[in-house]
Amino acid sequence: MATIYGKHYTRQDLLQHTGDISQIAGIKKIRLTDGKEEGVEAYQVKNGAGLNFTVVASRAMDISSADWCGRSLAWISSTGETAPEFYEEPGLGWLRSFYGGLLVTCGLTQVGAPNIDQGTPLGLHGRISNTPAYQVSYDSKWEGDDYIMWVQGKVRETAVFGENILLTRKITTKLGDNRIWISDTVENQGFDSVPHMILYHFNTGFPLVSEDSELVSPTLSVSPRDPGSEVDIEHYYKFEPPTKGFTERVYYHNMAAEPDGTVIASLINRKIPGGFGIYIQYSKNELPFFTEWKMNGQGTYVVGLEPANCHPEGRAREREMGTLQFLEPGEVRKYNLEVGVLTSNEAILELQDRIEKAKRSEAA
C-alpha cells in the first residue's frame, strides 16, 4: 500500500482519484537535444513520494539528476549529460564527460588512475559509463496495492581479440517509497579469463553536502590513498564550505557489516529543516571495498560514496597488490544496491542506531 501525501492509499483508492496513474507516478522516455547532449536517450522516473530521478540509457543506464521534493541529491558537473561519442579515453579524458550525477559506473575491466597494464594503456575509470545501453525497456505493474516501476537495459564492454563482458542492469522504485534498487548482473561471455573491476561512483552534492553535513558509516578504520589525503584525516567524516584551491582527498574505509554482509553508509545534514540525508546499502560479500571521495572545492563541491570490488588506483596497481579480480569464461557476478532518502531526523537516528549496532557486533 502506498503512503503519499501523509495518507495510506490502496490501488482502488488511487485509481478512483486519477484519470491515469501517471498523474502521480510513472516513467517517461525522453531524448536530449542541446549541445553535447544531442541524442542522449534517458528515462525520467517519478514515484509519487517526491523522489524523482533520471536513468541515462545512452550512458550505461547510470543515474544523472535526482531529487527529493525539489532538494537535489546529486552533484552535477559542468559537462552536462554528454553523449558517448564525445568520450575521450586516453589519460584523464574521462573527466571531459563526467557529468557527476547520482551514479556513474566505473569499470568493467579498469577502475581508477590511468596506467599501463601489461602493455595496455588504460584511461581513468574505464569506458563502461560512456557506453550506450541496448535492448532498453521500461514498465510498471501493480502487485496488490503496490505499484512497481523499473527501467532495464544491457551494456556490453567488448573488443575483437579482447574482453566480452555483458552488464544487465535493472533500476526499480515503488510508488510512495523513498528508495531506488539497483540490480546488476555481470557476465563474461567470452572464452578467456578477463580482469574485472567495478566501482559504483555515487556523487552527493548541495544541499546534502555542506559544512553542516556528516558521513555516518560503520567505519572501523580509515586510511588515505596518498600523502595529500592525510591532511585533516581525523575529520574524514566532516566537510568544509566551498574552498578555493581545495585538493581532493580520498579515503579507504574498512567497514563493519551486519551478519548477512550488509553495509550501510550515509551522508546526512541535520541542519536542513527536519533533517535530510541519503544512504547507500550494499553487500560487503559482493563489494568488499569502500572509497570516500572528499572534494570540497568551488564548483566541484561533492562527496563520493563508492562501494567497489577494487581500489581506485588502476588495474596495474591492483594486479601488483594481488587484489585484481578476474571473470572466468561464462562466470556471472551479481551486485545489488539500495539507495534511500532519509527525510527526517527520526529516520537518521534509526539508521545511526543500526550502523552502531553493526560496528559493535563486528568489534565483539
pLDDT at 186: 98
Q: Please check whether residue 75 is in contact with residue 204, taking contact to mean a CB–CB distance below 8 angstroms.
A: yes
Find out whether 153 and 147 touch, Cβ atoms under 8 Å: no
DSSP class per residue in 267-335: EEETTSTT-EEEEEEEETTT--EEEEEEEEBSS-EEEEEEEESS-TB-HHHHHHHT--EEE-TT-EEEE
Helices (H), the chain: 11-17, 315-321, 345-363
- Identify whether the C-beta of residue 10 lies closer than 8 Å to the C-beta of residue 17: no
The DSSP call for residue 113 is S
Which one is the CATH code of 2-363: 1.10.10.1200, 2.70.98.10, 3.30.70.100, 2.30.30.100?
2.70.98.10
Q: Where are the domains of the chain?
A: 2-363
Strand 262-269 with 103-108, pairing: unpaired
Alpha carbon distance 229, 218 (integer Å)? 20
Instruction: Note down pLDDT in tens along the chain; length 364 residues.
Output: 788 888 888 999 999 999 999 999 999 999 999 999 999 999 999 999 999 999 999 999 999 999 999 999 999 999 999 999 999 988 999 999 999 999 999 999 999 999 999 999 999 999 999 999 999 999 999 999 999 999 999 999 999 999 999 999 999 999 999 999 999 999 999 999 999 999 999 999 999 999 999 999 999 999 999 999 999 999 999 999 999 999 999 999 999 999 999 999 999 999 999 999 999 999 999 999 999 999 999 999 999 999 999 999 999 999 999 999 999 999 999 999 999 999 999 999 999 999 999 998 877 6
State the DSSP string of 21-49. Answer: GGGTSEEEEEE--SGGGTT-EEEEEE-SS
Pairwise CA distance, residues 88 & 163, whole Å: 20
**Distance between CA atoms of 279 and 143, rounded to whole angstroms?**
26
